[in-house]
Amino acid sequence: MSALLTCRSVRARQGDTEVLRGVDLELRRGEVAVLIGPNGAGKSTLLAVAAGLLPTSAGAVERGGRVAAAMQKPALARRTALANVELAISWWEGRRRGGRDDRRERAMSALAAVNASQLAGRPAGSLSGGEARRVHLARVLAVEPDILLLDEPFAGLDPSTRADLLYDTASAIRSERRATLVVVHDRAEAWALADRVLVMTRGRIDAQGSPRQVFEHPPTEEVAEFVGFTGTLDEGDSVLRLRPSDVELDPAGPISAEVLRRVPLEDGVRLDLSTPKGRLVTVAPEPAPEVGTVTRLRVTGGVRFPSERAPAPDDPASALLSGADGSRTGTPASRQEAGR
Amino acid sequence: MTFIWQGVREAFSMLLHPTPDLLSILRVTLELVLWATVLAMLIGLPIGLVLGLGRFRTRRVWLGLANGGLGLPPVVVGLFVALLLFQSGPFGGLHLIYTVRGMVIAQTILALPIVIALTATSVQAIDPALLQQAGALGASRWRLGGFALREARIGVFVAAMAAMGASLSEVGAVVLVGGNLEGETRTMAGAILTSLSGGYYAEGIALGILLLGLTFLLAAALTVVQHGSRSAPTSSVRYLSTARR
């Protein structure tokens, strides 16, 4: 697959703040890459730079085709949904634009691709948030770009509208001729859309790979934290990061923990737990321990990273957390599979 | 009170039996309003667009000047234009003093800041995300400008109305530059001034009623044009209704 978009050591500023700090990215024809990261990581700035809407302060962006971007806000002109899509086509084609009938046909098929044919005659002002997002998406699909950039296409939608649009988008954006980069916030959205996930933190791309690789084996603690490994156990020479599903309440478990907070959920109770070596989160079925109760638990997974501080030889964490054989990987992104 | 009724009666009589003088006044007034509004729109719209959309260093200064221009004293503008157009003035050779063309120049100068300020304000009110999206889909500057004007059409319409209203009702600059010459440069507002200063109140009231009527008529015409452009089915809607049959 040939690269349609290449960013080499790209730096960019928003006002006085350097938002992109050396981004390297290659987007290949036929693939859908999903960019995720915490707020302020620089995702939208990277998209704007890739679209040519924001200049770089250093580095280079090479585009092997025309880029169309759907910005975060689905701002539509005061005309019908169909006319909005037609307008996008005429912007895109400029003086080379074809006939009106051709534009209409393309606009209608783009609306159909995102299940929005029924919205064609509706004025933009009468569309709901989800409907406006569908028209917004149809607008960029209609121009048939070589490189398609979508900035948070599901932002601000209620869960069911979001899910509907997500599934429609997942099928609509796939094309062998196009390279697509989508910025999302949610891991579930990344799973549904991505061939490749890119995790961005503090202006750099810190991890990339298939969704499974990135979400199961995050390469850094920061990425691990972002992808859901929110619990921490400090083992001295290494730190174990754990997802709620990696922690199980067990009366015979080796770790003692105090319940700090209980939050009822649909499928149980989320418990925030304090152990001598760090804080953990788990989801337990009812009846779950009350706040202030001391309980016991074991960890069933997690990812281990080398600790930044030197290990103390008599660190009790070793006894508390080492596996049955006392082994420690000490390797970033190593997966701790054995139950404890 | 009697003279007010007399004025109303005279207004209807003038309407039913217009004199050549009245027709000349109407012609000059309409000519002045039309040209001054068209020129102010032609010059003011692009400037307002640039000030509304542009991001250059002196933009605020120019916007401030346009806003300040809304309060230009017509008499002062008329005085300066007259001084420039007098036979002995720098543009005396153009022979524009005491002509409708000279009055159009003065009136355009007065209407221009109105058009610029209102256009810039209404263009600035367009959602920046919409303009950014247009840019992200490859819209050229020209197309972006045309699109912004269309999106801001209500503000542009208000600018045209305000420019027209100013041209209709203005007296000071028009009298100074045009000389209020009967049958040549006398407008409705100028004729009212003359009637009142001569003590012909009924005639003044009649002309005033006619001027009001003219103002509402032109405003209504512009509203019909604007409303027509909004309510007429767009080509896409026509296409859809045809496609569904």
Write the pLDDT tens digit of every residue in B60-85: 999 999 888 888 888 999 999 999 99
Which residues of B sit within 8 Å Cβ distance of A? 127, 129-130, 132-140, 143, 147, 150-151, 234-237, 239-241
User: For residues A316 and B23, which has the higher predicted lDDT (pLDDT)?
Assistant: B23
- Residue numbers of A between 202 and 261 with CB closer than 8 Å to B: none
pLDDT at A62: 94
HSE at residue B59, side-chain half, CA atoms within 13 A, is 13
C-alpha distances in Å from residue B172, one per residue of B80, B189, B215: 12, 9, 18
Q: Is A76 on the interface with B (CB under 8 A)?
A: yes
Nearest to A246 by CA among A265, A232, A267: A232
Contact B129 A71 (CB under 8 A): yes
In A, which residues are within 8 Å of B140 by CB distance?
Answer: 94
| CB-neighbour burial class of residue B222 (10 A; exposed 0-12, middle 13-18, buried 19+) | middle
Tens-digit pLDDT profile for residues A70-94: 999 999 999 999 999 999 999 998 8
Name B81's Cβ contacts closer than 8 Å, sequence gap at least 6.
B102, B105, B106, B109, B173, B176, B177
A331 pLDDT exceeds 80? Answer: no
Mean pLDDT of chain B: 87
**Does the CB of A91 have a partner CB in chain B at under 8 Å?**
yes
Q: What backbone torsions phi and psi does residue A294 show, to the nearest 5 degrees?
A: -100, 130
A76/B130 touch (CB, cutoff 8 Å), yes or no: yes
Of B127, B137, B234, Cβ closest to residue A91: B137
Minimum mean pLDDT range among A148-152, B191-195, B221-225: B221-225
pLDDT for position A99: 77
Residue A97 burial (CB < 10 Å; 0-12/13-18/19+)? middle
CB contact under 8 A, A140 and B137: yes
Contact B130 A83 (CB under 8 A): no
Tens digits of residue pLDDT in A121-168: 999 999 998 899 999 999 999 999 999 999 999 888 888 888 889 998
Looking at beta carbons, which residues of chain B come within 8 Å of A75? 127, 129-130, 132-133
Mean pLDDT for chain A overall: 86
Q: Residue A62: beta bridge partners?
A: A6
CB contact under 8 Å between B237 and A75, yes or no, is no
Angstroms from A235 CA to nearest CA on chain B: 49
Q: How far is B147 from chain A (nearest CA, A)?
A: 9
Q: What is the pLDDT of residue A49?
A: 94
Assigned token pair, A240:
């174990």
**Tell me, what's the pLDDT at A309?**
58
Give the structural domain span for B53.
2-241
CA distance A141 to chain B (A): 11
pLDDT attached to residue B202: 78
Residue B237 confidence (pLDDT):
53
Residue A320 has pLDDT above 60, yes or no: no
Determine which helix (DSSP H) or strand (DSSP E) holds A259, and give its type and residue range: strand A255-265
A179 and A124 Cβ atoms separated by less than 8 Å:
no
- Decide which of A216 and A327 is more confident: A216
Looking at the complex, report in whole angstroms how far the Cα of residue B57 sits from the nearest Cα belonging to chain A: 16
Query: Is residue A311 scored above 60 in pLDDT?
Result: no
- Chain A residues 93-132 within an 8 A CB cutoff of chain B: 94, 100, 104, 120-121
Nearest to A68 among B130, B137, B234 (CB): B137
Query: Min CA distance, A316 vs chain B (Å)?
Result: 56
- Residue A59 falls in which region: left (phi positive, over 0), alpha (psi -120 to 50) or beta: left
As to burial, measured by CB atoms within 10 angstroms (0-12 exposed, 13-18 middle, 19+ buried), residue B192 is buried
Inter-chain CB proximity B137 and A92 less than 8 Å = yes
**Could you write out the DSSP letters of every residue in A115-133?**
T-GGGTTSBGGG--HHHHH
Distance CA A47, CA A63 (A): 13
Question: Which three-class secondary structure state does DSSP give residue A286?
Answer: coil
Calpha distance A41→A32 (Å, rounded): 20
> Per-residue confidence at A186, pLDDT binned at 50, 70, 90?
confident
How close A270 gets to chain B, by Cα (Å)?
A: 39
Pick the closest to residue A280 from A333, A241, A317, A226 (CA basis).
A241
Residues written for chain A = 340
- Side chain identity at A29, as an amino acid letter? R
Higher pLDDT, A227 or B223: A227
Mean pLDDT of B36-61: 93
Centroid of chain to Cα A235: 29
Q: What is the pLDDT of residue B231?
A: 54
Tell me the pLDDT tens digit for each residue of B97-134. Answer: 999 999 999 999 999 999 999 999 999 999 999 999 99
> pLDDT at position A119, please?
93
pLDDT of A284 over the 70 cut: yes
- Please tell me the least confidently modeled range out of A85-89, A181-185, A331-335, B118-122: A331-335
Cβ contact A148:A179 at 8 Å: yes
Angle at alpha carbon of residue A274, lines to A271 and A276, rounded to 5° = 155
Q: Does the pLDDT value for residue A314 go beyond 70?
A: no
**A79 vs B: CB within 8 A:** yes
Q: Tell whether the model's pLDDT for residue B7 goes beyond 90.
A: no
pLDDT of res. B15: 77
Between CA A75 and CA A132 the distance in angstroms is 8
Number of domains in chain B: 1
Among A329-338, B12-21, B121-130, the range of highest mean pLDDT = B121-130
- Domain of B137, CATH number, reads 1.10.3720.10
Indicate the residue of A75, A79, A100 with minimum beta-carbon distance to B133. Answer: A75
Least confident of A95-99, A183-187, B20-24, B115-119: A95-99
